[in-house]
Structure 1
Amino acid sequence: MPIECAPHVDLELTEQQARTMLAIQAKTEQLKQTLRQDPLWGTPVYLPPRGFPLKPETSEQVLAEQLPWPALLTLANCAEETAVLAQCSVKELLLYAIQICPYQHVAVLIQFLSHKEGVQASAKALSPYIRQLRDKEARIKAGARKGADKSAHTRRKQSKVPAPQDLQREADKLMASHYAKQDVAGILAKRYDVTPTTIRRKLNAAT
């Protein structure tokens, strides 16, 4: 049990403290068994690292066995899953874990907690800028859609305009009916609901 490593802690536990401690024990042991199957953490250890004595009852030592429960608590979402089981927040879990943690491993949990709070503080500070970037991205996408719709509408209108040779024949008929040459493009543009520039471009293609 984690409490066995913390003789300075009062053994008169509240219901929440007991639930938290049992959750820590269950989840860290579960993670340790999972890590034993990992290619890295399941690597056999032949010499005990300093500060982590081997358990004599264990026949085969692997790297995962050398991880104390405070270190396990910082790996693979173990703290989050433990907090759910303990029915408390991750911060509450870590603060209590620091109280019962062996002194040589306190720094591990403090650093982990500081990192989590630092990430949350950074996210909070950056959230206005992130919202601005998201709004800008949304405006760009909306503008792109608007431009695409406008382009598609233009293409649909231009598709109604006859082929250059046919359009030239219509222009010739208008001029034969005594319309001025400079007015022909405007007349045909209104007829086909396009710009005079589009008509002139088509007529130039016919020559």
Structure 2
Amino acid sequence: MTKKQRAIIVLEELEKIYPIVPVPLEHSDPFTLLVAVALSAQTTDKKVNQISPKLFEVAGDAFKMKDLEVEELKFLIKEIGLANTKAKNLKRMAELLVERHNGIVPQTYEELEALPGIGHKTASVVMSQAFGFPAFPVDTHIHRLMTQWKLTSGKNVVETEKDAKKLFPENSWNKLHLQIIWYGREYSPARGNKDHDHLTRMLLLKEE
């Protein structure tokens, strides 16, 4: 079976399971999404969703966030990983958004990735989920599943993103990357029982 054939099966099965798929990180606009995705590095989305309401209550836009001290930001996000570094990045990011973009989240990869703590994956999430640009953000979970489904032999997330964009139609990217994230969490966790991972089993059976 070719990679393209595998990709069609993955696309069809995930559409059956997740015809509607929510963005895992709670947010109300591009700024709160940008902050939430930046906070989610090496932390679960669940934990980010637990702490973000208090953060956004006092710093729900770039102007308010830049006026907070790093220590205040650190206190608000202290329960998540790398809080010290993230607090510094958030403050500087807010300052730059105000200085360069009048507090508005920019709509280009170049401008987003020029902000502290914002890498390509975070920029891709914002471009796709906040602004609707076709993007395929690949995190370690998507990389793991794409490898497991033999859709990539990529050694890293950059190669896996290229493979995903070749295999799947562009109009599916924004939804599909979320479908894969949800599938991984529900049916094929990195650690634990994978008995419910029927998609991997289906692909294996079709190989026989």
TM over 0.5: no
Q: Whose radius of gyration is greater, 1 or 2?
A: 1
RCO higher in structure (CA 8 A, sep ≥6):
2
More helix by share: 1
